[in-house]
Amino acid sequence: MKALIDRILKDGKCYPGGILKVDKFINHQMDPNLMKDIAVEFIRRFASTKVNKILTIEASGIAPAIMMGFLMNLPVVFAKKKKPNTLDNMLATKVTSFTKQRDYDVVISRDYLCPDDHVIFIDDFLAYGNAAKGIIDLCKQSGATLEGMGFIIEKAFQDGGQYLREQGVRVESLAIIESLENCEIKIKNA
Amino acid sequence: MKALIDRILKDGKCYPGGILKVDKFINHQMDPNLMKDIAVEFIRRFASTKVNKILTIEASGIAPAIMMGFLMNLPVVFAKKKKPNTLDNMLATKVTSFTKQRDYDVVISRDYLCPDDHVIFIDDFLAYGNAAKGIIDLCKQSGATLEGMGFIIEKAFQDGGQYLREQGVRVESLAIIESLENCEIKIKNA
């Protein structure tokens, strides 16, 4: 997605350890028009998919997911990190965070992820795929069908994308980072 | 806001201890069309306000805030709960959660909340106003002007709204809950 790639090259920042910071336009300050364009691109890429719900995970997945749900007129559910004390009837799974170097629980209510659901999962980053693995587990527990996973940015030099594709998951990433070596952003086909 | 009040009466659930659960349409599963209508209503209520940025806090404020930013063509910044290790140059404040019964840090980068900014803060709930107080503190630290605070739901029987209005903050709440006694939802002017 050219507008996104251009924006990453313009406003993204590299940090040692393979960290790409996009908090000027995606995950701290957000550009709502870019989020709308991202949602349109996900809709285009998943055009052949029958879906009745958009699934995401707090916090940075919410903006692109709500835009997608709005444009498609579909409900959006966000999985929560850690157990809120007012959520009953929930499914839970354990996830390890790459950036935060800790484990956390990801939970979702059975009321909003059901055997009849056909969902697309949307998130900002695909790195080692730990959150994605947690979502796959929650979908399995609930009986919902995971139709695909859409990521704004995939880091191809970490193994989440390979793992998900090997599992037969349909993965669509709008910008694929090949390398962040020497703090230089190299994007596939860019 | 009638559509919101009707929806709360239809799909909201009361729990002992003054807890109102709206996770069918606001803060777990989200209705994107309702979020758009909520954004339009905030825009209407803050029509006389000059604003260059929408401010919110993760996670449930993000959906209405991004809709508002999209419709107004303004950037949206979400304050983060707890210190991410890739955020530099940040402002921090301590907040106590009503539902989660614990303290957490709320942080925002100085890069995205600046002395020139005129912001409206958007969140899902106003109860004791603890998150709102944290946001006021972050605005003070940054030098930004807080033009107003918009909440989807205010609990009038908790003292956050009174506190904020006494401080001279312009508060707009789209549904004001007068009481949840005996697990019955009583809404002002409904």
Cα–Cα nearest to A185, from A4, A3, A13: A13
Find chain A residues with C-beta within 8 A of B58's C-beta.
58-59
Question: How confident is the model at residue A13, as a pLDDT?
Answer: 95
Q: In sequence order, what E strands does B58-167 have?
A: 76-81, 90-97, 102-109, 118-126, 145-155
Tell me what pLDDT residue A87 has. 64
pLDDT at A83 over 70: no
Instruction: State whether the Cα torsion A90-A94-A97-A101 is positive or negative.
Output: positive
Q: Rounded mean pLDDT of B20-30?
A: 97
Q: What is the pLDDT of residues B73-130, one digit of tens each?
A: 999 999 999 866 666 789 999 998 766 678 889 999 999 999 999 999 999 999 999 9
A101 in contact with B, Cβ within 8 Å:
yes
ipTM above 0.90? yes
What integer pLDDT is reported at residue B190 of this predicted model? 65
Asked whether residue A189 carries a pLDDT value surpassing 90, the answer given is no
Range of the domain at B135: 2-187
Better pLDDT: A104 or A29: A29
pLDDT of residue B82: 80
Q: Which residues of chain B make contact with A74, given a CB cutoff of 8 A?
A: 32
What is the share, in percent, of chain A residues with pLDDT greater than 90? 87
In chain A, what residues touch B112 (CB-CB under 8 Å)?
23-24, 28-29
On the 0-12 / 13-18 / 19+ scale of CB atoms within 10 A, A164 is buried
| Number of domains chain B is built from | 1
pLDDT (tens digit per residue) in B127-172 = 999 999 999 999 999 999 999 999 999 999 999 999 999 999 999 9
* Minimum Cα–Cα distance from A13: chain B residue: B86
A53-62, B48-57, B98-107, B162-171: which has the minimum mean pLDDT? Answer: B98-107
What is the per-residue pLDDT across A98-154, written as a single tens digit (0 to 9) for each?
Answer: 666 788 899 999 999 999 999 999 999 999 999 999 999 999 999 999 999 999 999
Q: CB atoms < 10 A from the CB of A143, how many?
A: 12
For the domain that residue A77 is a member of, what is the CATH number? Answer: 3.40.50.2020
User: Tell me, what's the pLDDT at B153?
Assistant: 98
CB contact under 8 A, A84 and B100: yes
Which of B25, B70, B100, B138 should we substitute to test contact with A (largest number of A Cβ atoms within 10 Å)?
B70
Question: Are A59 and B59 in contact (CB < 8 Å)?
Answer: yes
Rounded to an integer, what distance in angstroms lies between the CA atom of residue A174 and that of residue B46?
35
Q: How far apart are CA A43 and CA A172, in angstroms?
A: 11
Respond yes or no on whether the N-terminal peptide bond of residue A59 is cis (omega within 30° of 0): yes
Among A7, A37, A62, most B C-beta atoms within 10 A, so best to mutate, is A62
